[in-house]
Amino acid sequence: MTAVPGSARPASVDPGTCRDRTAAAAEERRPSRLRHARISPLAAFRTFWPLARGNRVAVLSSAALLIASSAADAAAIAIAGRLTDDVLAPGDLAAFWGPATLWLGLAVVGAVASAAGSYLSGWTSEHFLLGLRDHVFRHLQAIPPDTLDRYGTGDLVARLTGDIEVVETLVASAPVELITSAAGALVFAAAAFWTSWQLALITLAAAPLIWIGARVFGTLMRTASRAERDSNGRLASLLEESLANMPLVQAYGRQQAERTKVHREGRTWMRAGLRQIRLSSVYGPLGELLETVSVLAVIGAGAWQISEHHLTVGGLLAFAAFLSYLHPRLQELGELLVGASTATATCERLIELLRTAPTPETAPRPDTPPLPEPVRGAVTFQDVDFSYPGAAGPVLHRVHLDLPPGLLIAVTGPSGAGKSTLGKLLLRFHEPTRGRILLDGRDIAELPPDEVRRHITLLPQESMLFDDTVRANIVYGCPDAADSEVLAAAVAADAHGFVSALPEGYDTPVGKRGNNLSGGQRRRIALARAMLRTAPVLVLDEPTTGLDDAAIARVMAPLRRLTAGRTTFLITHDRRLTALADLVLHLADATVVVTSDRALTGTEC
């Protein structure tokens, strides 16, 4: 960048002003919060139910077993009433054994049915969780990296863990609970009517109040839950970002600023959680209060019926037992309505992810032949335009390149000129706004992304390593590689020497993001990984960034070996690397200019 006269940096900067401006700039650059449309619990259920449809036999079996358990409980209560009137009241011990044996048998049946039904319900829930997490993660893997960056890593983790568990309560657990609670309520309500229809009417008078309360509290809980989950995701992202950048935070003395941000978002999450707690703390006691009023009314009416000889003491005790089972079922139905509203807010966050457009998958057509083997690596850009969504103008405009295989093409230009965009288009992380990209004469838009990427090796700017062994990181792109191939790749990348000196050699863990290794060592491991893939096209994104002169000197020879015989796009600002290129392309103002052409004749650019 050229210096502008009169724009020299001031001699001193007020620290407070610097902090204020930094915070303001960060707030200005921060992307607007992602919004999602509100949907009904039924619509949310329909969205995710197909993932549980394969286990519907288990769902129905679980519900049937739990209903059978409720029926056994109802029958046992009726027998208890008979024991009171026929055994306890007259003191007839001989009449005890028959009802007692039947009661015991019903208890065994109810216990077995309850245990089996509960296990099947849990089995269904766990399988749904596994399937849903796999489904969402598979979708995330298809989203272009730039699009995925709109979400914080911590927020994505929160959606793949806590949010998915909440969705399970709506889609997998709720149907079983709804069926069993509704069926149980019907069973005990029918038993109550059979015992005394007058007392049953008094009891059911509270049901509409429970339903209305559930509707009101459900709406309030849904809003509170949405705020809590969104805040939880933002806090997770903030913590992940701050922890990942801790060296910078400490070096610039910004610990207090980071603590303030974390505390501020933590208070927002706390307030959202407290709102949920307030609503829950009110809803539960209100339900208990309604139940108490109903029980007192039943006891009073029952006492009158006994005095008028319309009901026996055993009948009243049986009715009270039916009531003790009926009210929890009604309460569960109300809580299911509240819980469904709460879970819907979380469903919206996952639906938002699933509606994020992935890289288009191309379905193979019968008339579309595969790429002929071996792929040579000839690359053509035909009048390619590309604009990022919301950008003021195009990043690339009418780019036309016709590159024969085996060239080393250096791509230079100022930051933001679109250098990395060329590689992303070639890898189908994005699709051209206009024009076509050809690989060996075939439009890559006609091929599945995985097929295109099988013939292209990417060496990103950051040496991305997994928390695994050196060997596992080298074979990451070629998991079936033999030990001899791994050794050859490490030797070619000038990595074998330092790897052999590690405590466990190739089985040494590299640590999180390769933190057990130096920057140059991480780069050479990444080079070995790239060398192991024999793809004919190579995209190198700033391969010497972050390395000192000594480290750069160590990787120069491996880089030459890596690019030999491959069509290589070398994105770089390093003049030492551009000097190696057959062709140098300079990007500026959305156009490509050939600044050096040492090896081509007749190549159209």
Per-residue pLDDT reduced to its tens digit, 309-344: 666 666 666 667 666 667 677 677 777 776 777 777
Q: Closest Cα partner for 452 from 430, 433, 428? A: 428
pLDDT tens digits for range 539-561? 888 887 766 777 777 777 777 88
Alpha-carbon 354 to chain mean position: 9
- Using the structure block, give the residue that is written with the tokens 């309850």: 114
Span 596-602, mean pLDDT? 49
Q: Residue 431 pLDDT > 80, yes or no?
A: yes
Whether the pLDDT of residue 374 is over 80: the answer is yes
Backbone φ, ψ for residue 456 (5° rounding)? -130, 130
Domain ranges (residues) in the chain: 41-354, 379-597
Peptide bond into 374 cis (omega under 30): yes
* Average confidence (pLDDT) over 207-235: 69
- pLDDT at residue 113 in the model: 85
Give the closest residue to 574 by CA, choosing from 461, 491, 489. 461
Higher pLDDT, 66 or 221: 66
- Give residue 518's identity as a one-letter amino acid code: S
Q: Is the dihedral of CA 470, 475, 480, 482 positive or negative?
A: negative
The pLDDT, as a whole number, for residue 306 is 60
**Pair of tokens at residue 372:** 């002929």
**Location of structure tokens 């551009």:** 578
Please state the rounded mean pLDDT for residues 402-420: 85
Residue 121 vs residue 600, higher pLDDT: 121
- Specify the higher pLDDT residue, 72 or 365: 72
User: Each residue of 111-158: pLDDT tens digit?
Assistant: 888 888 888 888 888 888 888 888 888 888 888 777 777 777 777 887
Q: How far apart are CA 499 and CA 542, in angstroms?
A: 24
Superfamily classification of domain 379-597? P-loop containing nucleotide triphosphate hydrolases (3.40.50.300)
Mean pLDDT confidence for 385-400: 83
The DSSP code sequence of 208-251 is: HHHHHHHHHHHHHHHHHHHHHHHHHHHHHHHHHHHHHTHHHHHH
Mean pLDDT lowest among 102-106, 234-238, 315-319: 315-319
Range 91-106 average pLDDT: 74
pLDDT (0 to 100) of residue 5: 35
- Asked if the model's pLDDT at residue 13 lies above 70, the reply is no
Residue 385 or 390, more confident: 385
**Model confidence pLDDT, tens digit, residues 175-205:** 777 777 777 777 777 777 777 667 666 666 6
All residues at 6 or more sequence positions from 596 whose CB lies less than 8 Å from its CB, including other chains: 410, 578, 581, 583, 584
User: What DSSP letter does each residue of 473-505 carry, written as one string?
Assistant: HHTTT-TT--HHHHHHHHHHTT-HHHHHHSTTG
Element housing 421 (H / E): helix 419-426
pLDDT tens digits, 513-544: 788 888 888 888 888 888 888 788 988 888 87
pLDDT for 91 beyond 70? no
Task: Please report, for residues 29, 238, 246, the alpha-carbon distance to residue 259 in angstroms, rounded to integers and kept in the order given.
Answer: 20, 11, 12
Query: What pLDDT does 74 receive?
Result: 73
pTM of this structure: 0.66
Q: Report yes or no: 101 and 39 within 8 Å, Cβ to Cβ.
A: no
- What local confidence, expressed as pLDDT, does residue 193 receive? 72
Structure confidence by residue, pLDDT tens digits, 15-72: 343 444 434 344 333 444 444 446 777 788 888 888 877 777 887 888 888 888 877 8
Q: How many CB atoms lie within 10 A of CB 143?
A: 18
What's the pLDDT at 165? 81
Q: Return d(Cα 69, Cα 54) in angstroms, integer.
A: 25
HEC readout, 347-386 = HHHHHHHHCCCCCCCCCCCCCCCCCCCCCCCCEEEEEEEE
Q: Are 265 and 231 in contact (CB under 8 A)?
A: yes
Residue 85: predicted pLDDT = 64
Are 143 and 359 within 8 A, CB to CB? yes
Residues in the chain: 605
Higher-confidence residue of 463 and 605: namely 463
35 phi/psi in degrees, rounded to 5? -105, 150
Q: Give the SS3 label for residue 433.
A: coil
Question: Residue 359 above 80 pLDDT?
Answer: no
Question: Does residue 569 carry a pLDDT above 70?
Answer: yes
Tokens linked to 190: 């029918």
41-354 under CATH 1.20.1560.10, yes or no = yes
How big, in percent rounded to 5, are the helix, strand and coil portions of the chain? 65, 10, 30
pLDDT tens profile 264-278: 888 887 887 777 777
Share of the chain above pLDDT 90, in %: 1
pLDDT, greater one: 588 or 456: 456
Residue 295 is predicted with a pLDDT of: 64
Average pLDDT, the chain: 75
Residue scoring higher pLDDT (240 or 263): 263
